[in-house]
């Protein structure tokens, strides 16, 4: 217990010389700056291969963390030691080239008491998935307590329970993972794009080692209460071919950050880009009657995140069109382009937007979080659960459906009136109620043209 664990992979996966290691980490962190709105995430997916191949992606992930966490929980797959369960080491801390990191032994003891994890040095003795993350932690937050957990053969539910037991709102969860392994460059790109979609849509079924070696940790996060109360942002996606030159056997890498549901995650430049392409999409249809020819590669990784959006048009302060997606099904930039054109030309409540109206028309974009069902037994109970000013609602009943964005609270500030108006929008009487009525709640990050 009084000993320190030295890093077995210092000198192979990453430099053992402190100066060289600090330079590698700091350069990677600098390359990842400016990808988010500046709010610190609750969890990150961070690559863990040799730094020559993956340090850029780990840098993207750690650079997204702007605050100082109380501790870091690192969850890694077990690459070389077969066992069942979740394991932490026996030592008091890690002796890294960039300084010592104490292990939160009290947290480990609580996991043991809860039957969630146990002590097993063998799981850590030859495991790079933990060690590759520690230089970033030591560089960013010297002396930060860590909870290093290697995941053996363990169900997603147990990983999720472990995460929720450790979640205190101030802990950073580091999900150590690479993506596909040893496919051709072409096959890897397809597989990793599929993995990205599953992560960003929170699809844990089928997410396995063929998609990501750290699939257990990622799936556990997505299934946990903490993960369900978060929204993802893609920071980078690529593979080893660019470094190695070998396109026949590549390893995929990705970087993600998970933020709170109410956190703004898109930077000012990314918001401006979405507003610009939405306007361009409508402008092209008005003047040339064709789709905008915008290359997907021109958009930054965060705008490739699978997300649902709504585009609203206003003319002289009045609604002129509003169309959107209820669930993530394509990259955000593509969703915004499609919904902008639909808002202008396919909203059944309005005629086509005209060239004369266009200069005075303003655009608003709302990016939605995943919708979660509300559990209630009566209308009064449903009203008590709704958070005015924050919740968007989807109502389904009698074969009909209606949606209000959170922005609607500006016009209808009272929950009772909000719900009655939502029923009318769905084509139901304002006093309608039935046992099969369903409500789903979501949040939205909104931004608009001046």
CB atoms within 10 A of CB 100: 13
Using alpha carbons, select from 372, 375, 274, 357 the residue that is nearest to residue 314: 357
Q: Which DSSP symbol is given to 381?
A: H
Cα(392)–Cα(369) distance, integer angstroms: 10
pLDDT (tens digit, 9 = 90+) per residue, 361-406?
Answer: 999 999 999 999 999 999 999 999 999 999 999 999 999 999 999 9
C-alpha dihedral over 426, 431, 437, 440, to 10 degrees?
60
For position 291, what pLDDT does the model report? 60
Query: 86-88 and 181-183: which strand pairing?
Result: unpaired
Cα(212)–Cα(209) distance, integer angstroms: 5
Cα(303)–Cα(140) distance, integer angstroms: 27
Q: At what angle do helices 332-345 and 268-288 cross, to 10 degrees?
A: 40
Using alpha carbons, select from 388, 385, 383 the residue that is nearest to residue 423: 383
For position 297, what pLDDT does the model report? 86
Using alpha carbons, select from 27, 30, 33 the residue that is nearest to residue 14: 27
58 and 268 Cβ atoms separated by less than 8 Å? no
Six-digit token pair at 266?
A: 């898109």
Please state the rounded mean pLDDT for residues 286-303. Answer: 81
Cα(60)–Cα(237) distance, integer angstroms: 10
Using alpha carbons, select from 439, 389, 392 the residue that is nearest to residue 409: 389
CB atoms within 10 A of CB 347: 18
For position 1, what pLDDT does the model report? 44
Sheet with 308-315: strands ordered across: 318-324, 308-315, 361-368, 444-448
198-212 b/e with 16+ CB inside 10 Å = b?
bbbbbbbeebeeebb
129 and 87 Cβ atoms separated by less than 8 Å? no
Cα(450)–Cα(442) distance, integer angstroms: 25
Using alpha carbons, select from 171, 189, 178 the residue that is nearest to residue 218: 178
pLDDT (tens digit, 9 = 90+) per residue, 322-369?
Answer: 999 999 999 999 999 999 999 999 999 999 999 999 999 999 999 999
Of 213-217, 287-291, 309-313, minimum mean pLDDT range = 287-291
pLDDT (tens digit, 9 = 90+) per residue, 79-136?
Answer: 999 999 999 999 999 999 999 999 999 999 999 999 999 999 999 999 999 999 999 9
Query: 400-404 and 392-397: which strand pairing?
Result: antiparallel
CB atoms within 10 A of CB 358: 16
pLDDT (tens digit, 9 = 90+) per residue, 25-54?
Answer: 999 999 998 899 999 999 999 999 999 999
174 and 74 Cβ atoms separated by less than 8 Å? yes
The confidence band for 293, taking pLDDT boundaries of 50, 70 and 90, is: low
Q: What's the whole-model pTM score? A: 0.95
């Amino acid at each position: 217990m009084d000993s320190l664990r030295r890093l077995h992979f210092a000198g192979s996966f990453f430099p053992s010389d402190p100066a060289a290691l600090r330079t590698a980490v700091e350069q990677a962190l600098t390359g990842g700056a400016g990808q988010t709105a500046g709010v610190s995430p609750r969890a990150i997916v961070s690559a863990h291969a040799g730094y020559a191949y993956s340090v850029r992606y780990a840098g993207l992930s750690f650079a997204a963390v702007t605050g100082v966490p109380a501790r870091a929980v690192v969850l890694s797959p077990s690459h070389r030691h077969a066992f069942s369960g979740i394991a932490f080491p026996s030592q008091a801390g890690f002796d890294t080239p960039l300084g010592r990191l104490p292990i939160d032994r009290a947290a480990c003891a609580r996991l043991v008491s809860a039957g969630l994890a146990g002590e097993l040095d063998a799981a850590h003795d030859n495991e790079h998935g933990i060690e590759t993350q520690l230089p970033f932690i030591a560089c960013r937050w010297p002396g930060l307590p860590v909870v290093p957990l290697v995941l053996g053969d363990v169900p997603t539910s147990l990983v999720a329970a472990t995460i929720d037991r450790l979640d205190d709102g101030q802990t950073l969860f580091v999900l150590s993972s690479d993506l596909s392994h040893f496919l051709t460059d072409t096959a890897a790109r397809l597989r990793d794009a599929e993995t990205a979609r599953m992560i960003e849509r929170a699809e844990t079924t089928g997410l396995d080692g063929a998609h990501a070696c750290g699939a257990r940790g990622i799936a556990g996060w997505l299934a946990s209460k903490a993960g369900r109360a978060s929204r993802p942002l893609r920071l980078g996606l690529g593979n080893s071919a660019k470094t190695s030159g070998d396109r026949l056997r590549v390893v995929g890498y990705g970087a993600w950050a998970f933020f709170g549901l109410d956190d703004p995650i898109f930077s000012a430049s990314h918001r401006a880009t979405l507003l610009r392409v939405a306007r361009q999409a409508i402008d092209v249809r008005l003047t040339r009657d064709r789709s905008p020819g915008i290359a997907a590669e021109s958009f930054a990784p965060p705008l490739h995140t699978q997300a649902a959006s709504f585009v609203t048009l206003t003319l002289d302060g009045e609604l002129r069109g509003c169309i959107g997606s209820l669930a993530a099904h394509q990259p955000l930039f593509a969703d915004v382009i499609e919904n902008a054109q639909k808002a202008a030309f396919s909203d059944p409540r309005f005629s086509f937007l005209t060239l004369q109206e266009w200069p005075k028309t303003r655009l608003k974009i709302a990016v939605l979080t995943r919708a979660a069902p509300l559990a209630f037994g009566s209308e009064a109970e449903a009203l008590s659960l709704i958070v005015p000013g924050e919740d968007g609602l989807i109502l389904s009943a009698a074969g009909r459906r209606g949606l209000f964005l959170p922005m609607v609270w500006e016009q209808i500030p009272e929950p009772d009136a909000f719900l009655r108006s939502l029923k009318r929008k769905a084509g139901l009487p304002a006093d309608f109620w039935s046992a099969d009525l369903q409500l789903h709640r979501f949040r939205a990050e909104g931004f608009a043209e001046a």
